[in-house]
Amino acid sequence: MTTKTLLMFAATGLLTPVALEGVADAGGRTTTTMVLGSPENDLAPVANGRLRRTNEEQAGTEMTTIVMLDDGTGKLTKGLYFSMRTELPAATPGGAVRPANDRMQLALTPFVLGQATDGSVIATANPAGSTFVTNNDGNEYRNANAPQAFALTKDIGCVNYNYQPNNTNDTKRYAACFTADGTQVLAQTQIQAKNNDDCSMHQTSPDTVAQKVGNAIYVVSWDGCNGNGNDDGWARLSKYDVSNPAAVTVTKMFDISLAQREERSRGLCSIAAEDPNTAICTWTEGNNQPQRDGTWMAAIDITPGKFNGANQQGALIWKEQLEGRKDIDGLRTYSMRAAHTRIMAPTATGELKPSNMMLFYSNDLRGNNNSNEKGGTIIRTQMGVIKADKLGMSYVQPLADTSVMLRGLGGTHLGMNTAVFGTTDKLQAGAIFTNGSHTGGYFSGQARSLVWDQTALKFTDGGMQPTAESDRHLYANYLGNNPGNQGRNHDSAVLVANPFLGVQANTDAYLMIFATSGKPMAEVGIPQKKASAFLTVMPVASAPAAAPGGSGSGSGSGSGSGSGSDPVDPVDPVDPGAGDSLGGCSTGGSTGGLATFLLIGLAAFIRRRR
């Protein structure tokens, strides 16, 4: 396990984050940790010193996700790191490495948060304590695909994943739950399946805990089920029973079809703390690739016990299309890649609660719309703030093109994570977008901040900070059953209150913790080495600076003139600039030199993907 501190942007040339300016003086720094190194025995196939495309070989480490749990003192310092993994380190010094059965399984690695000597928060992983928590025999060896972890309670973390048993034609969704020390309290349990449809595709965000009623915890989810059956996007309510914390059970209460034209809906359902009986869901609709039926939003009634069974259309409260086809300047685009995250509101105790407002994101995408292939070129990146509840939706800040302001923000498998910025006495809401390398991840991933000024109704580019290495495409794509011209891998992130606020002069109030996988720089020239697992701890908001001491008096006057900030343009309330943004599941921005590409033998394959 290796831990390092990322010194502000010197090596990467990234922008200094304007919105995070207070954090830079907070006493903490962004730190990264290698959770699991690349597999020792499981090596990638190489030809002529170059990585070779090989079907169903697996990437070594893939699809990382984490959950933070209570350490017994009310602070979230214990974490569980889940990843699709082909091999684990030895459990004892001098012991043998542990290969996964059937090439790849879901691995769990415990980690804890602590402090470095300068007060920075660091993650320390326990590779020897890693375990495989599945033992499946899946089609294409995808034995725990697309895992996503979430905190069921402060003491129990759960993870959902997809799995298609070998020689069958249905991918199904499963859940498992664990305590902070890694003890399994819910065995692998099926939570969603549809006849001849693969379930479930969703936005790269975890399921949402809606509410707790007695010993029952209700969780709302999105399941995009795309196959040869009905091809629908479903919202689902599940009940987890924690009467016996050592033996948790889960039951699907009901689901409802919201997207009747499912191809790659990647939806998400979330709730506001003030109304846990109403879920707001967003998704992209259409049976084509790229999709052509627009981005949508709906409200559903998830009152516990009110609906039971499959396809409960009575649970629909309202449904509305947000964006669709546009013909501007001779270019026809379609609204795609809907995503949202809740605006978080602090309580009097400093706890963050999801409000009834959400930051909404979509792309105006132009693709080869008659070829029925993934991808295309993003012409405009639309962002706005929407207030939504059971009574309907309205724009707090209308959707506007932010592609100029956020130049360089890639679009391939982009992660969108709720965040807060500034100081706790003047806390600002927003999001951090995460993106990785298209060529292995041997340079830092990107964490791009978008800050929302609720008073001025304006977005601000909070700048870009580096995360640990992140590979969004290469090893997962070249070594998996996937065409070589699209993304595949995902990362994840969680926002937590800093458990060490005030300790060792640390003034960071909130932290973002990122889980990524990719190639470390030391292994750039070793193409047979597969991806490693990483954690990044990044301060995002701080306590206000203490007032200076001393006393005195004085008087004076002065005057000045000049121009202040311009009023917000109601049509385009973002920062000015020029340029277009490329992205999507088939195009995206990347950095890194051609010489580095050649080191792992990829120059022949670097091209704009269709």
Structure tokens at 227: 């196959």
pLDDT, tens only, 305-324: 999 999 999 999 999 999 99
**What pLDDT shows up at residue 28?**
60
Is residue 546 predicted with pLDDT exceeding 80? no
**What pLDDT shows up at residue 579?**
31
Asked if 436 and 64 count as a contact pair (C-beta separation under 8 A), the reply is: no
Is residue 245 predicted with pLDDT exceeding 60? yes
Is residue 40 predicted with pLDDT exceeding 90? yes
Structure tokens at 300: 């559903």
Closest CA to 319 of 354, 287, 295, 290: 295
Closest CA to 100 of 63, 65, 57: 57
Mean pLDDT of the chain: 84
Share of the chain above pLDDT 70, in %: 82
Is residue 214 predicted with pLDDT exceeding 70? yes
**What pLDDT shows up at residue 547?**
67
Band (pLDDT 50/70/90 cuts) for residue 440 is: confident
Structure tokens at 406: 């956020």
Average pLDDT over residues 544-564: 52
Is residue 18 predicted with pLDDT exceeding 50? no
More confident of the two residues 541 and 570:
541
- Report how far residue 532's alpha carbon sits from residue 526's, in angstroms, rounded to the nearest whole number: 13
- Report how far residue 69's alpha carbon sits from residue 157's, in angstroms, rounded to the nearest whole number: 7
Average pLDDT over residues 201-215: 89
Is residue 286 predicted with pLDDT exceeding 60? yes
Of 19-28, 329-338, 341-350, least confident by mean pLDDT is 19-28
Of these ranges, 190-204, 300-314, 470-484, the one predicted with the greatest mean pLDDT is 300-314
More confident of the two residues 239 and 444:
239
Average pLDDT over residues 471-494: 81
**What pLDDT shows up at residue 549?**
60
Is residue 570 predicted with pLDDT exceeding 70? no
**What pLDDT shows up at residue 552?**
46
Average pLDDT over residues 512-535: 96
Asked if 304 and 262 count as a contact pair (C-beta separation under 8 A), the reply is: no
Closest CA to 264 of 169, 311, 334: 334
Buried b (16+ CB within 10 A) or exposed e, 258-292: bbebbbbbbbbbbbbbebbebbbbbbbbbebbbbb
Q: What is the DSSP letter of 475?
A: H
**What pLDDT shows up at residue 609?**
32
Q: What is the DSSP letter of 474?
A: H
Average pLDDT over residues 591-605: 33
Average pLDDT over residues 34-54: 95
Is residue 569 predicted with pLDDT exceeding 50? no
**What pLDDT shows up at residue 572?**
37
- Report how far residue 414's alpha carbon sits from residue 491's, in angstroms, rounded to the nearest whole number: 9
Is residue 596 predicted with pLDDT exceeding 50? no
Is residue 602 predicted with pLDDT exceeding 70? no
Of 239-243, 482-486, 520-524, 546-550, least confident by mean pLDDT is 482-486
Closest CA to 466 of 536, 540, 515: 536
**What pLDDT shows up at residue 372?**
53
Is residue 158 predicted with pLDDT exceeding 50? yes
Share of the chain above pLDDT 90, in %: 65
Q: What is the DSSP letter of 165?
A: B
Band (pLDDT 50/70/90 cuts) for residue 442 is: confident
**What pLDDT shows up at residue 571?**
35
**What pLDDT shows up at residue 182?**
96
Closest CA to 225 of 196, 205, 255: 196
Of 90-94, 213-217, 321-325, 334-338, least confident by mean pLDDT is 334-338
- Report how far residue 80's alpha carbon sits from residue 95's, in angstroms, rounded to the nearest whole number: 23
Band (pLDDT 50/70/90 cuts) for residue 355 is: very high
- Report how far residue 102's alpha carbon sits from residue 99's, in angstroms, rounded to the nearest whole number: 9
Band (pLDDT 50/70/90 cuts) for residue 121 is: very high
Three-class HEC string of 64-114: EEEEEEECCCCCEEEEEEEEEECEECCCCCCCCCEECCCCCEEEEEEEEEE
More confident of the two residues 496 and 350:
496
Only one residue has tokens 């990234």, namely 14
Average pLDDT over residues 290-318: 96
Three-class HEC string of 538-570: EEEEECCCCCCCCCCCCCCCCCCCCCCCCCCCC
**What pLDDT shows up at residue 288?**
82
**What pLDDT shows up at residue 586?**
32
Distance of CA 155 to the CA centre of its chain: 22
**What pLDDT shows up at residue 591?**
31
**What pLDDT shows up at residue 583?**
29
